Structure 1
Amino acid sequence: MGFVQVRFARPTDRLAEVVAFYAEGLGLPGAGCHLEFTSHVDGSPGPAPTEENLLVLYFGDAAGMAEVVERLGAAGHAPVGLENPYWSANGALGFADPDGWRVVLVPQPVFAATG
């Protein structure tokens, strides 16, 4: 497709908590994606739209995912249910960030990249 960078952006009323979840809990600082969280003096437009709005992170192996799951658990984040049974069938776990947005952790890519 030719993409060289992907950016995910959304507002939040819990900026410090959200940054801690993604940077410390998930370990995303310095990763190959750009997550932008903004805040406004008048507040954000509201909570996560649905439980099917997902950020999906694929790991190279189950051990890498287990390390992140352990770190999230130590920070008080427990797995949450995911609506689509596809995810559990592929060994994935879901977590809700402080705003309720779902992040899905998958132990390995479930599709082959095509070039």
Structure 2
Amino acid sequence: MISTDTHVRIARPSRDLAAAERFYVEGLGLEVLWRTTERVSGEWDLVMVGLSGGGWHFELTIDPENPLPPTPTAEDLFVLYLGEPIDPALIDRLVAAGGTRTVAHNPYWDKYGVTVVDPDGYHLVLSTRTWNA
């Protein structure tokens, strides 16, 4: 049964796990929750990032023997509702960690936040709004 305690995993292929990790850990401030530590033939390399104790995490993966390239679109968004103005230092860290600030495909996100493209081309939106379901 799905409940409010259900943990969410978002899995995405990556071209370069080190670059993706740098963006989400050094840039955004997430933690490495787990990673593969050795290359095993027939298995994927991966790094899981998120917040310790959080209800979600990213699993960034690559199959070195048969890579699947990321295929993001302008509407593949990871939105964080921060509920406050976006700290310019956070944007600077994301850019220094391999991100690119961009104009959002949907102008709503430019009105209420900032969009940064990660090293694999996926869009991270930092929203000044709060989430109210």
The TM-score by the shorter chain falls in which range?
Answer: 0.7 to 0.9
1:105 maps to amino acid: L
Instruction: Please say if 1:72 is aligned against 2:106.
Output: no
| Runs of 4+ more than 6 Å apart | none
Residue 93 of structure 1 is matched in structure 2 by 114
Helix, strand or coil at the partner of 1:72: helix
Report how many residues are paired: 110
Residue 39 of structure 2 is matched in structure 1 by none
Instruction: Please say if 1:112 is aligned against 2:129.
Output: no
1:83 maps to amino acid: H
Residue 3 of structure 1 is matched in structure 2 by 4
1:68 maps to amino acid: L
Verify the 8 A CA contact 1:12 1:43 in the aligned structure 2.
no
Residue 40 of structure 2 is matched in structure 1 by none
Helix, strand or coil at the partner of 1:49: coil
* Mapped partners of 1:61, 1:54: distance in 2: 19
Q: 1:2 Cα shift?
A: 2.0
* Mapped partners of 2:15, 2:68: distance in 1: 9
Relative to 1, partners in 2 of residues 1:72 and 1:16: Cα closer, same or farther, differing over 3 Å?
Answer: same
| Aligned partner of 1:49 among 59, 72, 82 | 72
Q: Which has the higher contact order (CA 8 A, sep 6+)?
A: 1
Taking only aligned residues, the RMSD between alpha carbons, in angstroms, comes to 2.1
Helix, strand or coil at the partner of 2:102: coil
Of Structure 1 and Structure 2, the greater helix share is in: 1
**TM value normalised by structure 1:** 0.80
2:120 maps to amino acid: D
* Mapped partners of 1:66, 1:26: distance in 2: 12
Q: Deviations over 1:22-75 (max 9, x none)?
A: 111011115223111111123432233311101111113215x44422322444
Helix, strand or coil at the partner of 1:79: strand
**TM value normalised by structure 2:** 0.71
